[in-house]
Amino acid sequence: MKFFIDTANLAEIREAKEFGLVDGVTTNPSLFAKESENWRTLAEKICQEIEGPVSLEVVGTTAKDMVQEARELVKIGPNVVVKIPMLLEGMKAVKILKEEGIETNVTLCFSPLQALMAAKAGASYISPFVGRLDDMSSEGMELVEQIMTIYGNYNFATQVLVASIRNPVHILQAALLGADVATVPFGVFGKLAKHPLTDIGLEKFLADWENAPKK
């Protein structure tokens, strides 16, 4: 499973990269709104920092606007994947962009039928938002499971990119289901490495080492 980092913060991207954990980046308008730097300058820096795919989202809501924006966004870097919202107009845009060789990530997916449409339109990635479903007492991972089944039934090439991840269990479940990618907030990366028995074990090893004969 590939790990993308879900942030527009360059310092977070650089730090996660040092752990060898960043195969790509996903951003969205809300993530850029948290940063102080001009979004385009920042997007260029992110594309230079990371070799893998960097998702940048359109803000238009008609196919015409989305396609125009997408053509501009891909000028930012060779690794740009254009994020398109899961709308009927979005599906039109995905189809046109695929014909132009532009990669797309269909975002804000909350149902398996939306994912089926995105795959048929030719999306490169589908982003089911598991955390936002869990937040409203739904079962986000059921959606991922259904998408994996549908895509497997028909051998769709669209990659399943599990998004809106809130905790390490989401990543475990996504990996067990065979999802292609998990896009992970920086804070959750840190939690992946933690286990209390690791900390207790290391403390004991270091204490015992003090007593080991050194000569």
How many whole angstroms separate alpha carbon 21 and alpha carbon 121?
30
List residues binding ligand E4P (CB under 6 A). 6, 26, 28, 107, 127, 129, 131-132, 163-164, 183
CB nearer to ligand E4P: pick between 27 and 148:
27
At 31, list the tokens.
Answer: 């993530």
The least distance separating ligand E4P from the CB of residue 6, rounded to whole angstroms, comes to 5
At 112, list the tokens.
Answer: 């398996």
User: Which of these is catalytic: 2, 75, 83, 194?
Assistant: 83
The least distance separating ligand E4P from the CB of residue 129, rounded to whole angstroms, comes to 6
How many whole angstroms separate alpha carbon 114 and alpha carbon 45?
32
Residue 205, helix vs strand vs coil: helix
User: Is 194 part of the annotated catalytic residue set?
Assistant: no
**Neighbouring residues of 76: CB distance < 8 A, sequence distance ≥ 6:** 40, 43, 44, 47, 56
CB contact burial 177-204 (16+ within 10 A = b; e otherwise)? bebbbbbbbbebbeeeeeeeeeeeeeee
The least distance separating ligand E4P from the CB of residue 183, rounded to whole angstroms, comes to 5
The least distance separating ligand E4P from the CB of residue 26, rounded to whole angstroms, comes to 4
Distance, C-alpha 153 to centroid of its chain: 24
CB nearer to ligand E4P: pick between 115 and 163:
163
Q: What residues are labeled active site?
A: 83
